[in-house]
Amino acid sequence: MSQISELVYRAARETAVFVDRSALATFTITGKSRLEIIDRISTNSVKGLQNGQGAATVLTTSIGRIIDRLLLYAGEEAVTMLAGEGHRDPLARYLLRNVFFQDDFHLRDVTGETTVFAIYGPQAQPLLQQAGLPQTDLPLHHWRPGQIGDIPVTLHKTDPIGGDGYLLLCATSNRDALAQQLAASGITPADEAAFDFLRIEAGLPRYGRELTLDYIPLEADLWADVSFRKGCYTGQEIIARMESRGKLAKRLTRLHAPIPLSAGAEISADGKPAGTLTSTAVGPYDCVALGYVKTAVLEENKPLTVAETAVTRAS
């Protein structure tokens, strides 16, 4: 179970932390069809992205279930794509199955060549400026090239945790030097367990936990990653139907508990099954968790329990 120290937790709340997220599947995509193909098989409208822009989009099955969430960053001649940890080979196979003979689409796995640092916290922007990046005021998922010391990097605005969020990408050979530069700029290093706690507390879903074939993007609160105005894509009919009805069977919910809980445990209400925990972590003061809970239970504000332990919904 993930656990965070009080020192790192305080830094994430008051200044900023950085964590190595190089396990994310990282690809470059080239060819004239590079955005067109992603657009026709995923939930968001991405084919019009220009250099420096980006977007998050979700790959879904024919019945709208989540395959993975993609972060796309458009350049002049290539797209950088980040996806779920440990999903490199299956994801590549899935994408290439959707490439037809007339398409110009070339996928290259650069995970092993790329270091990804995530920076989170309310002071992330000024501290990155202090590190040497003047252009930090970016729209969500947009990016800019930059340099920290003599290290070439790309800076990407990402989902916020603790008030703000950025990704820094650099060559793997520069990993240690960049980590030293970030720490010297006042950004506190954090480990994987700390990241997991912070993203659970913030309600950020993760591949393999909340983002699985058991759920659809709307249940995972990924509304911003879905376009309801674009043309057809894989899974569109199911997702559009759920949106038009305005009723989801379950919703991703942030929870707190006084004692540690285990992912996979059943959530109950009135002694009946009401959902499932997908992620848990222990912090300085309590246990935080994410889980999918039946919408009817949430709307009726029924008390929730996990193995007879009362859990509360985060405000």
State the CATH number of the domain containing residue 306.
2.40.30.110
Within this chain, do residues 236 and 286 fall inside the same structural domain, yes or no? Answer: no
Residue 234 tokens read as 């894989």
Q: Give mean pLDDT, residues 35-39.
A: 97
Which among 230, 247, 264 is the end of a domain? Answer: 247
Distance of alpha carbon 179 from alpha carbon 298, whole angstroms: 42
pLDDT for position 1: 57
Q: Do residues 49 and 90 both lie within one domain?
A: yes
Going by pLDDT thresholds of 50, 70 and 90, the confidence category of residue 199 is: very high
Q: Are residues 109 and 187 in the same domain?
A: yes
Averaged pLDDT of the chain:
96
> Where is the domain boundary, 217, 247, 277?
247
Q: Hunting for tokens 């911003």 — which residue is that? A: 224
- Is residue 217 within 8 A of residue 43, CB to CB? The reply is yes
Average pLDDT over residues 160-164: 95
CB 205 within 8 A of CB 211: yes
Number of neighbouring beta carbons within 10 Å of residue 24: 21
Mean pLDDT for the stretch of residues 230-239:
92
d(Cα 25, Cα 82) in Å, to the nearest integer? 6
Assessment of whether the complete model's pTM goes beyond 0.85: yes
Mean pLDDT of 15-28: 98
Number of domains present in the structure of the chain: 2
User: Tell me, what's the pLDDT at 244?
Assistant: 85
Answer whether residue 233 shows pLDDT above 90: yes
What's the CA gap between 40 and 183, in Å, rounded? 41
82's tokens: 């980040």
Average confidence (pLDDT) over 28-40: 97
Q: Is the pLDDT of residue 315 over 80?
A: no
pLDDT tens per residue, range 103-152:
999 999 999 999 999 999 999 999 999 999 988 999 999 999 999 999 99
Alpha helices by DSSP H, the chain: 6-14, 34-41, 88-97, 124-131, 175-184, 192-202, 236-245, 295-299
Angle at 205 between CA 155 and CA 264, to 5 degrees: 145
Identify the domain containing residue 282 by its residue range: 249-313
What is residue 151's predicted lDDT score, i.e. its pLDDT? 97
Percent of the chain with pLDDT over 70: 99
Domain final residue, candidates 194, 222, 247: 247
Q: DSSP secondary-structure letter at 42?
A: B
Are 186 and 9 spatial neighbours (Cβ–Cβ below 8 Å)? Answer: no
Is the pLDDT at 61 greater than 80? The verdict is: yes
Together in a domain, 281 and 137: no
Which CA distances in Å does 28 have to 92, 98, 105? 11, 17, 10
Residues 138 and 54 in one domain: yes
Same structural domain, 290 and 144 = no
Mean pLDDT score, 26-46: 97
pLDDT of residue 63: 96
Give the pLDDT band of residue 264 (cuts 50, 70, 90): very high
| Predicted confidence band of residue 55 (pLDDT cuts 50, 70, 90) | very high
Over residues 240-255, the pLDDT tens digits come to: 998 888 789 999 999 9
**The pLDDT of residue 2:** 62
What does the pLDDT read at residue 231?
82
Residue 187 DSSP class: P
Q: Are residues 192 and 154 in the same domain?
A: yes
- Is 139 in the same domain as 270? no
69 with 178, same domain? yes
